[in-house]
Every structure is written in structure tokens, then in C-alpha cells.
Amino acid sequence: MSFESLGLMPELLRAVREQGYEHPTPIQEQAIPIVLEGRDLMGRAQTGTGKTAGFTLPLLQLLAPHASSSASPARHPIRALILTPTRELAMQVEESVRTYGKYIPLRSTTIFGGVNINPQTKALRAGVEIVVATPGRLLDHQGQGNLNFSQLEVLILDEADRMLDMGFIRDIQKILALLPAKRQTLLFSATFTDEIKQLASKFLKTPATVQITPQNTAAELVRQIVHPVDRERKRALLSHLITSRNLEQVLVFTRTKHGANRLSEQLDKDGINSMAIHGNKSQPQRIKALEDFKKGVVRVLVATDIAARGLDIDMLPHVVNFELPQVPEDYIHRIGRTGRAGTEGEALSLVCVDEARLLKDIEKLLRKDLPKNVVAGYAPDPSIPAEPIQTGRGGGGGGGRGMSRGPRTSSSSAPRGASGRHPSRPSTRGK
Ligand code: AMP
């Protein structure tokens, strides 16, 4: 199968060629023709499957014929809205829009919280056809009268399951109420839970369904290994693995922001250049960390789940679960960072006695046991008892401690992140 046979226009084929893509990925093969037909679509695909190009390419083609007809810069109504759970994902999706849309005269912008609102307002007022936004900040702009969706043709919900996990459901409903009923709607999600199906049945019209099962990606492309180790020796083991195996470009996952910071500092002390990326970091800090990592200046990027969602890093060779995620599906998301688009990757999990149940849950989801490999010199001491896992939030056992200035677990239902505020916050002052 070639991109040409999918019916994409020459401008897009040229951009795709420049990216060096030879063949469409399965999700692209399936989704592109459906979207081009103008149908609603429910796509089950995780990050790493090529889903972004799967919706961005046909979207650009759908919008393209009208693009050059609006002569005046003021005549650029919003024609497509892409909602994402996090600012990183919004940035990366928009980067894809720019990359694939290089030869098509359409304007796009990102809207997300945690940064000054004024440049966004300016961009919206100047006119853009494609808006990539996190829900909260988008509603802030709505409150300020900066948005007009009367010409909207296409709505895309990206990582819809994550948006629900993060508590954005009410914001999403509010946004949907602002959009014309006659539109094309695409929904992408790593899982099709009942909640997602409910959302889809409410807002999508007889959608086509496309599924790329995460199990296949994880099982087939990523070599997964569990290294049993004591809780207190994980850091030493990680440094040992990185230096002894000379690993480069390692993405390491921790459960909490504090954990990410601590680990990053420790790695630096061990002479391993690293950076932490999480919700408490400013936008410029995150961008810098990601760029340095992509360039190879930073050898290890330590991330929480939410911060890592949607990070666009090609062919990442190594992912390390420094701590297993609380939610088994997050394991799949994490290892989806490696073995992307056909390249082999490796996912190492450093697992201590406290995480036995989490590991079982993950193996249940994968429907297979993961190979265990004790690293010489790091065998766990069987006399060490299990301890409750610190998630950094008050949940779990219902303790509620440590929450006041709290690092939250990254895979929880805690609303956060993307727009930098809670969905339930007081609404913005209308101006
Ligand atoms: P995504 O799942 O959208 O996050 O994309 C995962 C990665 O795969 C991105 O870094 C893309 O640049 C890359 N990619 C997307 N489509 C293709 C393709 N057809 N061939 C090779 N790489 C691709």
C-alpha cells in the first residue's frame, strides 16, 4: 500500500515524502479514506501508531480546496478544531499540521493554558483555519469572545480517553455545545471504555470504527524485560544499566513529579546528563528539555505519564519504567514510545517487591508473562517486606496525606495539566 493509493493530493504526498515515510501505517491506511469520505470516525489507536498523520493528512485535504479562496487575512474562519488532553500533545499535533500542511495555505495555532493568553488571542483574532487546543484554555477564550465556530467543519478529539481521565468531560460537553451540529467528528482513543462509547454515541453520527490493538504494537515490536530489584537500589541499577550498556536517548518513567526530579538529580550526580519533564515545569523548560533530548544533548529524559503523553520522539530505542504505573494501560502507553512505526525498541521495567500486583495486572492486560532477568549484583533481598506504594496523592488507601502541595499521580483521574487548571474552576471574567 502506498500513500498515493490513499487518494491524497500532491501537496500532501510531497510533504509526506519529505518526512521520509515510505508506507502508510495500518491506522493511516484505514483512517485516511474514511475521513476523506467525510464520515465520522472512531479510531482506537495509541501514540506511536502514526495516528496523528492518520487524521491530519485527510483533514488538510478536506480543508484545502477552500484555502486559497479567502483572500483577506481577516477571512480565515475556524474550520477545524482538534482537542487534546495536554499542551505537549497540542504542540505536537500542530507541528504535524504544519509539517504535512507545508504546501497548503492554511493557518493553524495552538491554544493551551500555563502561558500568556494574549498572543493566543492575537492569533485567533488574525484568523486561523485550524485550532489545536486543550479544553480549559479554549473555554477561557470562549469566555472572552475570541472564538467563532460558526464555520466549523471538523472536530477531532485526540486521546479522548485521557481527556476523560483528566476530568475534562464537562469542558468537552461545553465546547461541543458551541459547535455547529452539521460537522464531521473524529474521535481517537487508546481504549474504548463504556465512557468513551457513550461520548461517541452522543456526539458522533454513525461512525466508522478503526482499531489498531495496542497489544499487537506492544507485543510485537517492543522487547520487554523486567529487572527485579530492591526499592532502594533502583537508582543504582538504572545508572549501571545506562553506563554499562552505553544506552543513549532513554525515556524513564516515574510515578510522581517529585520522583522525576529526584531521579534526574541523582542521575546527574552519577554523570548521566538528564532532565525531568512534568506538569510543574514551565512551558519553555519543557520545550527545551524535549529539544535537548531529541538532539541527544540530554541522554535521559525522566517523565511522568501525563508529561510524556504525545511526546513526539521518533524511534526511541529505550523506555525504562523506573516505577510501574498504577494503571496497567499506562504501561502500554509508555512502551508505545519505543518500537515506533516499525523499528524495534526495548522496554525495561525495574520492579521491586511493592509492585508485584501492578506487574500482575500488566501481564494480565498483555495476556502474557514478561521475561524476568536479575542483573548480576542487583538481586533483590527476599527478606525486604513490601510497602504500600506512594502515589504522591491522597488516593489509594484513602490516606489523603501529602496532598497539600501535592505531586499527583500521573495516571489518575485528577484533573490537571493541559490547561493548567481544574475543569471546575470559576469561569473567566467575560470581557
Ligand atoms: P503518532 O502515533 O501520531 O504519535 O506518530 C508516531 C511517529 O511515527 C511520529 O513520530 C511520526 O513522525 C511517525 N510516523 C507517522 N507516520 C509514519 C509513516 N507512515 N512511516 C513512518 N513513520 C511514521
49 Cβ closer than 6 Å to some ligand 1 atom: yes
340 Cβ closer than 6 Å to some ligand 1 atom: yes
Cell 512551558 appears where?
A: 283
Nearest residue (by CA) to ligand 1, atom 1, is: 50
24 Cβ closer than 6 Å to some ligand 1 atom: yes
333 Cβ closer than 6 Å to some ligand 1 atom: no
Integer CA distances (angstroms), 424 to 51, 136, 167, 229, 421, in order: 30, 10, 9, 41, 8
For residue 136, which of 122, 125, 120 has the smallest C-alpha distance? Answer: 120
Cell 500488566 appears where?
A: 362
* Domain 4-211 shares a fold with domain 222-419: yes
Identify the three-state secondary structure at position 17: helix
Q: Residue 315 Cα, ligand 1 centroid: separation in angstroms? A: 9
C-alpha grid cell for residue 383?
527478606
CA distance 304 to 313: 15
Is residue 201 pLDDT above 80, yes or no?
yes
Q: Residue 66 Cα, ligand 1 centroid: separation in angstroms? A: 27
> Do residues 22 and 65 lie in contact, with contact meaning Cβ atoms separated by under 8 Å?
no
Is residue 426 pLDDT above 70, yes or no?
no
Helices (H) and strands (E) in the chain, counts: 16, 13
| Mean pLDDT confidence for 38-52 | 90
186 Cβ closer than 6 Å to some ligand 1 atom: no
Nearest residue (by CA) to ligand 1, atom 10, is: 314
| Residue 136 binned pLDDT confidence (cut-offs 50, 70, 90) | very high
| Pairing label, strands 300-303, 274-277 | parallel
Q: Where are the domains of the chain?
A: 4-211, 222-419
95 Cβ closer than 6 Å to some ligand 1 atom: no
CA distance 280 to 287: 13
Is residue 421 pLDDT above 80, yes or no?
no
117 Cβ closer than 6 Å to some ligand 1 atom: no
Is residue 154 pLDDT above 80, yes or no?
yes
- The pLDDT > 70 percentage for the chain reads 83
214 Cβ closer than 6 Å to some ligand 1 atom: no
More confident residue, 391 or 144: 144
> For 222-419, which CATH superfamily applies?
P-loop containing nucleotide triphosphate hydrolases (3.40.50.300)
For residue range 114-126, what is the model confidence (pLDDT) as tens digits?
999 999 999 999 9
CA distance 207 to 34: 10
| Mean pLDDT confidence for 331-359 | 83
57, 97, 221, 340: which to mutate for ligand 1, most atoms within 8 A of CB?
340
Single-letter residue type at 143: G
92, 249, 314: which to mutate for ligand 1, most atoms within 8 A of CB?
314
Which atom of ligand 1 lies at the shortest distance from residue 310's CA? Answer: 4
When the candidates are 3.40.50.300, 2.40.10.480, 3.30.420.40, 3.40.50.1110, the CATH number that belongs to 4-211 is 3.40.50.300
Sheet holding 184-189, edge to edge: 108-111, 130-133, 80-83, 154-157, 184-189, 41-44, 208-211
For residue range 124-135, what is the model confidence (pLDDT) as tens digits?
999 999 999 999
CA distance 356 to 5: 48
pLDDT of the residue at 73: 44
C-alpha grid cell for residue 60?
488538510
Nearest residue (by CA) to ligand 1, atom 12, is: 314
312, 333, 335, 338: which to mutate for ligand 1, most atoms within 8 A of CB?
312
pLDDT of the residue at 340: 53
More confident residue, 329 or 399: 329
For residue range 155-200, what is the model confidence (pLDDT) as tens digits?
999 999 989 988 999 999 999 999 999 999 999 998 888 899 999 9
For residue range 383-418, what is the model confidence (pLDDT) as tens digits?
999 998 876 543 333 222 222 223 333 333 333 333
Q: Residue 314 Cα, ligand 1 centroid: separation in angstroms? A: 8
| Mean pLDDT confidence for 318-332 | 90
Q: Residue 261 Cα, ligand 1 centroid: separation in angstroms? A: 29
Is residue 19 pLDDT above 70, yes or no?
yes
pLDDT of the residue at 277: 87
25 Cβ closer than 6 Å to some ligand 1 atom: yes
For residue 103, which of 135, 61, 72 has the smallest C-alpha distance? Answer: 61
Which atom of ligand 1 lies at the shortest distance from residue 19's CA? Answer: 12
CA distance 155 to 2: 27
> Do residues 328 and 365 lie in contact, with contact meaning Cβ atoms separated by under 8 Å?
yes
More confident residue, 193 or 430: 193
The helix or strand, by DSSP H or E, that contains position 56, with its residue range, turns out to be helix 51-67
Q: What is the mean pLDDT of the chain?
A: 84
Lowest mean pLDDT among 87-96, 148-157, 328-337: 328-337
CA distance 51 to 109: 20
| Mean pLDDT confidence for 136-158 | 97
341 Cβ closer than 6 Å to some ligand 1 atom: yes
Helix axes 51-67, 87-100, angle to 10 degrees: 50
Q: Residue 200 Cα, ligand 1 centroid: separation in angstroms? A: 25
pLDDT of the residue at 416: 33
| Mean pLDDT confidence for 314-334 | 85
Q: Residue 53 Cα, ligand 1 centroid: separation in angstroms? A: 7
21, 49, 59: which to mutate for ligand 1, most atoms within 8 A of CB?
21
For residue range 232-259, what is the model confidence (pLDDT) as tens digits?
999 999 999 999 999 988 999 999 989 9
pLDDT of the residue at 397: 30
For residue 24, which of 43, 40, 2, 46 has the smallest C-alpha distance? Answer: 2
More confident residue, 358 or 305: 358
CA distance 147 to 138: 9
| Residue 429 binned pLDDT confidence (cut-offs 50, 70, 90) | very low
110 Cβ closer than 6 Å to some ligand 1 atom: no
CA distance 167 to 46: 19
Tell me the whole-structure pTM to 2 decimals.
0.60
